């Protein structure tokens, strides 16, 4: 006889309004209706039950950048914010531009992460993208079309060549589209002017013009309505561009230095008005230490933490009826999972049983309720609703400040060839590698 299901989430109010018990077995939803006997039963009366979020843009740091964040603290921060899958960005030190560096990164995450993860490949003119694809890269990028912290930019010709190669593999290119005017960034207003909204829009146009073969494009952290309007790929925005504007911040406060910059209140409102065109909200979680953020403005690194506050800030907007719950679920869970091609989390039989349970009242964000190693947040004082309980693969991994043993999954991309099979198909991997290294292809 089959053993009983592992978990029943009882009295769940589904986003479309119906009430149901959600029965879970082996990490998947098996039934939505009346729940029977199970090893564990959680009454969800009075709670918002959400499919857990997939954050497609995080910088988990680790390695020699572990003072900022590491997989242990970063993944705890993700889980405590209702995020069970993160996509790690490759501008690590060293960058993820060789299969060996990539596989070392996978091992580091497998050892220390308590949330599920995918890892992207970096892209330089020399990156063997075919070998990175075979090693398990989920996507390519963020590809820098303007330099940023720990990111060197490709020029138009280099980018165009890289997009042609990624297209040939059937991969997804994720783009950091910005343009920079010369000058010293002495404060937030100057930073905004140097990396202006017009330059962001022009960068999107230039990237698209350099993509004649039609590589699938995803535009990361778009900060202006004008750029969103001209984008033909999927559009990602961050909570910091949705919730923060520079007039409300001291001009020299380096904590708010980020690329693309925090814009004016007028730009923020125009971006918000694009809500229906925005496909994905992702955090661009990019922690730096308070010491680094205390440096003089031109020398301080760009970036801010955000994986733990992303869904909670949006949940406060749901409570205030500024956005709808189905929209929030679409932009933080359903569409991100579809973009990277992993099973959706949700309430239907077969869905991945990753959930976050939220109370119906907001609290004020304070740094000491958060779990990122960097120890600060740009959203101090904002209203947010944090999850009481988070489920990963059908198992409770977080409950009211306490973490429990998790069994996270590594999601390799579509080109993954397991190491054992690479010996069987070495010619494929080698030929991709060598074609891409040939000087004629630079
Ligand atoms: O502000 C940023 N910081 N933007 C990026 O694109 C990179 C990030 C980082 O890694 O610190």
Region 31-40: mean pLDDT is: 91
pLDDT at 435 over 60: no
pLDDT at 422: 72
pLDDT of residue 1: 72
- pLDDT at position 425: 58
* Band (426; pLDDT cuts 50, 70, 90): low
Going from the N-terminus, what domains does the chain have, and what CATH number goes with each?
A: 7-43 (no CATH), 48-386 (3.20.20.140)
CA 442 distance to own-chain centroid: 30
Question: CA-CA distance, 295 to 277, in Å (whole number)?
Answer: 37
> For a substitution probing ligand 1, which of 150, 238, 241 has the most ligand atoms within 8 Å of its CB?
150
Does the CB atom of residue 145 touch ligand 1 within 6 A? Answer: no
176 lines ligand 1 (CB under 6 A): yes
Q: How confident is the model at residue 3 (pLDDT cuts 50, 70, 90)?
A: confident
Average pLDDT over every residue of 362-387: 98
pLDDT score for 156: 94
The label of the residue with tokens 């705890």 reads 76
> Of all protein residues, whose CA lies closest to atom 4 belonging to ligand 1?
259
Question: Cα angle vertex 205, ends 413, 125, to 5°?
Answer: 50
pLDDT(116) > 70: yes
Ligand 1: centre distance to CA 91 (Å): 9
Tens-digit pLDDT profile for residues 178-194: 999 999 999 999 999 99
* Cβ-contact 105, 91 below 8 angstroms: no
Q: Calculate what percentage of the chain has a pLDDT beyond 70.
A: 95
- Identify the pLDDT of residue 296: 97
**pLDDT exceeds 50 at position 387:** yes
Ligand 1 mean position, distance from CA 287 (Å): 9
CA-nearest of 364, 256, 372, 361 to 308 is: 372
Tokens of 57: 């843009």
Best CA proximity match to 307, nearest among 230, 231, 390, 246: 390
Ligand 1 centre and the CA of 142: distance in Å? 10
- Check 88, 185, 279, 284 and give the catalytic one: 284
Pocket test for ligand 1, best of 258, 282, 307 (most atoms within 8 A of CB): 258
For ligand 1, is residue 11 a contact (CB within 6 Å)? no
Cβ–Cβ under 8 Å, residues 193 and 200:
no
Q: Is 317 a catalytic residue?
A: no
Of ligand 1's atoms, which has the minimum distance to the CA of residue 142? 6
Does the CB atom of residue 238 touch ligand 1 within 6 A? no
Please indicate whether residue 302, judged by its CB atom, sits closer than 6 Å to ligand 1. Answer: yes
pLDDT tens-digit map of 306-325: 999 999 999 999 999 999 99
pTM over 0.75? The answer is yes
CB contact at 8 A, 146 and 153: yes
- Which ligand 1 atom lies nearest to the CA of residue 221? 6
Residue 96 has pLDDT above 60, yes or no: yes
Ligand 1, atom 8: nearest CA belongs to which residue?
303
* Closest by CA position to 117, among listed 127, 125, 126, 106: 106
Decide: 355 and 390 in contact? Cβ < 8 Å: yes
Test site for ligand 1: of 56, 69, 301, most ligand atoms within 8 A of the Cβ: 301
Atom of ligand 1 nearest to the CA of 287: 11
Two structure tokens written together for 214? 């039609």
Q: How many Å lie between the centroid of ligand 1 and the Cα of residue 302? A: 6
């Amino acid at each position: 006889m089959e053993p009983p299901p592992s978990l029943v989430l009882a009295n769940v109010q589904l986003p479309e309004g119906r009430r149901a018990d959600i029965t879970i077995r082996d990490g998947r939803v098996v039934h939505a209706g009346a729940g029977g006997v199970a090893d564990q039963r959680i009454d969800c009366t009075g709670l918002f039950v959400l499919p857990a979020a997939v954050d497609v843009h995080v910088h988990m740091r680790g390695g020699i950048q572990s003072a900022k964040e590491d997989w242990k603290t970063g993944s705890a921060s993700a889980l405590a914010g209702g995020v069970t899958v993160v996509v790690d960005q490759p501008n690590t030190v060293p960058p993820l531009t060789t299969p060996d560096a990539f596989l070392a990164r996978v091992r580091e995450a497998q050892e220390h992460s308590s949330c599920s993860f995918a890892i992207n490949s970096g892209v330089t003119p020399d990156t063997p993208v075919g070998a990175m694809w075979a090693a398990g890269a989920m996507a390519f990028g963020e590809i820098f079309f303007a330099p940023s912290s720990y990111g060197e930019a490709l020029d138009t010709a280099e980018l165009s060549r890289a997009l042609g190669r990624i297209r040939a593999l059937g991969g997804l290119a994720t783009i950091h589209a910005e343009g920079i005017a010369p000058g010293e960034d002495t404060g937030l207003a100057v930073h905004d002017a140097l990396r202006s909204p017009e330059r962001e829009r022009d960068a999107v146009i230039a990237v698209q013009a350099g993509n004649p073969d039609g590589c699938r494009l995803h535009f990361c952290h778009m900060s202006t309505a004008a750029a969103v309007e001209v984008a033909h790929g999927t559009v990602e925005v961050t909570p910091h561009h949705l919730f923060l504007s520079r007039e409300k911040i001291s001009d020299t406060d380096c904590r708010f230095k980020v690329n693309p910059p925090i814009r004016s209140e007028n730009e923020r409102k125009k971006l918000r008005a694009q809500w229906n065109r925005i496909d994905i909200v992702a955090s661009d979680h990019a922690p730096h230490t308070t010491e680094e953020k205390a440096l003089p403005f031109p020398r301080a690194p760009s970036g801010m933490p955000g994986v733990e506050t992303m869904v909670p800030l949006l949940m406060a907007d749901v409570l205030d009826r500024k956005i709808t719950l189905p929209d929030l679920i679409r932009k933080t869970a359903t569409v991100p999972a579809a973009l990277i091609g992993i099973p959706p989390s949700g309430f239907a039989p077969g869905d991945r049983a990753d959930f976050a349970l939220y109370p119906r009242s907001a609290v004020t964000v304070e740094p000491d309720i958060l779990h990122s190693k960097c120890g600060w947040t740009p959203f101090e004082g904002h209203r947010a609703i944090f999850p009481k309980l988070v489920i990963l693969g059908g198992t409770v991994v977080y409950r009211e400040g306490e973490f429990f043993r998790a069994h996270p999954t590594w999601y390799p991309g579509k080109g993954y060839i397991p190491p054992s099979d690479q010996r069987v198909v070495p010619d494929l991997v080698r030929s991709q590698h060598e074609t891409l290294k040939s000087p004629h292809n630079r």
